[in-house]
Amino acid sequence: MKRVAEIALLILIWLAIAAIGTWLFNRWRKRTIGDSIGPREKLAITGLLVLVPWAGLSLGSFAVFVINLCALILLMTCTDFIFGFISTQFLGMTHGGGDQTSCGHYSLAQGKRARGQTAAAIEEVQAQLAQFPKDFEGRMLLATIHAEDRRDLAAAQEIIHDLLPQLDRRTNNIAIALNTLADWQMKYAKDNAAAAASLRGIIDHCPDSLAALRTAQRLARLEPAADPDENADTGVFLSDCLKQLARHPLDNVTREQLARAYYERHHNLEAAQAELEKLIATPHQGAKDIARWLQRLAEWQSREGDIEASRATLERIKSLFPNTAQADEAQLQLTRRGHRERA
């Protein structure tokens, strides 16, 4: 009776080996270049390599060879598991935590996407997001596949809108997500109104930020209240500038045009300086832009014969941006003026 049970168990083991082997062979046939062994395949291989040596005991003296061969294959297959476990434990001891990974890996999804396998790519991204649901890269990749490959802009927009509440306003991720959505809305839907709404979302989510300032410049070009033409009549040009600034007060280009028109067309340095000062006072302006506006003001003051005011403006650049190329340029102009005055 005991012998019958052993034979029955051995038959079951060999049947399990045959079933697992057949499944693995079919999975192997369906694999494409760039695919890696997944968790299910690794589990099946592990089970197969445990069962084969056990069944190999019935092979007599040949069992030693079978067991050693299976042990070698098992070691090669599970090296990444072993190394990953050791690395994780080491990182836990040295950094005070366990798993240090906070984002998914999307090379497989990108490869499948490149081959036109969008459904498989989406499935791969979603598998990673199941482990890292807050991963920005994965969410954006999923939206990108829907928008660019499937032309399903509604799905892409839903993904991005669901993502926004989870994003930190101190990063650029909100601006990246909504700028990307605006690009898709203009490119694929030809819907500038929807794109403008997406861009305004950046300003709403990140007020008083560099991202908001940059977005304001883009919005001013996307939905202008007027398009000031510098070749137009002075009155028309000034009116267009004021209309544009009434709707887009952070429009750097138009305000700079207005300042130049006040001085060069109206010879009104006070009004021109007031517009430049509004630009300079706007938070998050770049050092190069501020220095350029002050250089222009210093030039105008010099033209009007107010040398002291012009010198003070150049000194202002030095004090605002010490030890920079802008400060060096201002000092060079001051030095040249000093040489001319002494000559």
**Within 10 Å of residue 130's Cβ, how many Cβ atoms?**
10
Highest mean pLDDT among 17-31, 35-49, 267-281: 267-281
84 pLDDT higher than 90: no
Question: Which one, of 233, 285, 240, lies nearest residue 258 by Cα?
Answer: 240
Stretch among 72-76, 129-133, 307-311, 330-334 having the lowest mean pLDDT: 72-76
Quick one: pLDDT at residue 82? 45
Model confidence at 137: pLDDT above 70: yes
Contact predicate 45/28, CB 8 Å? no
> Which long-range CB contacts under 8 A does 159-168 form with residues at least 24 apart?
163/136, 163/139, 164/201, 164/205, 166/134, 167/136
- Cβ neighbors of 294 (< 8 A, separation 6 or more) are 276, 280, 313, 314, 316, 317, 320
pLDDT band at 14 (very low <50, low <70, confident <90, very high): low
- Of the given ranges (17-21, 55-59, 124-128, 320-324), which has the lowest mean pLDDT? 55-59
Read off the CATH number of the domain in which 201 is found.
1.25.40.10
Final residue before a domain boundary, out of 64, 83, 102: 83
Give the C-alpha separation, 78 to 72, whole Å: 10
What residue numbers bound the domain in which 31 lies? Answer: 2-83
Q: What's the Rg (C-alpha) of the chain?
A: 34
Q: How high is the pLDDT of residue 18?
A: 72
Q: How far is CA 163 from CA 122, 139, 173, 176, in A?
A: 17, 7, 10, 12
Q: What is residue 279's predicted lDDT score, i.e. its pLDDT?
A: 98
Among candidate residues 134, 132, 160, 129, the one with its CA nearest the CA of residue 146? 160
Establish if 105 belongs to a structural domain. Answer: no
The answer on 126 and 74 residing in a single domain is: no
Mean local confidence (pLDDT), 46-62 = 60
In terms of domains, do 79 and 25 share one?
Answer: yes
What percentage of the chain reaches a pLDDT higher than 90?
A: 64
- Counting other chains too, the contacts that 229-236 makes at CB distance below 8 Å and 24 or more residues apart are 230/257, 230/261, 234/261, 234/265, 234/266
Q: Are both 201 and 157 inside the same structural domain?
A: yes
Q: What is the pLDDT of residues 90-106, one digit of tens each?
A: 444 434 443 444 678 89
Return the structure tokens found at 214.
């940059």
Q: Which residue has the higher pLDDT, 309 or 5?
A: 309
State how far the alpha carbon of 208 is from the alpha carbons of 107, 250, 297, in Å.
37, 11, 26
The pLDDT of residue 62 is 53
Are the beta carbons of 179 and 199 closer than 8 angstroms? yes
Q: Establish if 234 belongs to a structural domain.
A: no
23 vs 253, which has greater pLDDT? 253
Confidence of residue 69 (pLDDT cuts 50, 70, 90): low
C-alpha to C-alpha distances, 184 to 82, 153, 178, 195, 302, nearest whole angstrom: 44, 8, 10, 8, 48
Domain C-terminal end among 58, 83, 108: 83
pLDDT bin (cut points 50, 70, 90) of residue 236 is very high
Backbone angle region of 208, left / alpha / beta, with phi > 0 → left and psi within -120 to 50 → alpha: left
Report yes or no on 289 lying in a domain.
yes
Q: What is the 8-class DSSP label of residue 145?
A: I
- The arithmetic mean of pLDDT across residues 333-343, rounded, is 82
Given a cut of 90, whether residue 315 has pLDDT beyond it is yes
User: Is there a single domain that holds both residue 139 and residue 75?
Assistant: no
Q: Is residue 162 part of a domain?
A: yes
Query: What is the tally of structural domains in the chain?
Result: 3
Tell which wins on pLDDT, 335 or 73.
335
List the single range of 8-22, 59-73, 115-129, 327-341 with lowest mean pLDDT: 59-73
Q: What is the mean pLDDT of residues 138-164?
A: 96
At 295 the pLDDT is 97
Note whether 178 and 160 are within 8 A (CB): yes
238 located within any domain: no
Q: pLDDT-based confidence at 76, cuts 50/70/90?
A: low
Judge whether residue 186 has pLDDT over 50: yes
Is residue 263 domain-resident?
yes
Evaluate whether residue 42 is within a structural domain: yes
| 140 band by pLDDT with thresholds 50, 70 and 90 | very high
Residue 207 is assigned to a structural domain of this protein: yes
> How far is Cα 55 from Cα 9, in angstroms, rounded to an integer?
9
Find, among 157, 228, 246, 149, the residue nearest to 194 by Cα.
157
Nearest to 228, CA basis, from 262, 194, 198, 196? 262
State the Cα–Cα distance between residues 241 and 212, nearest whole angstrom.
Answer: 21
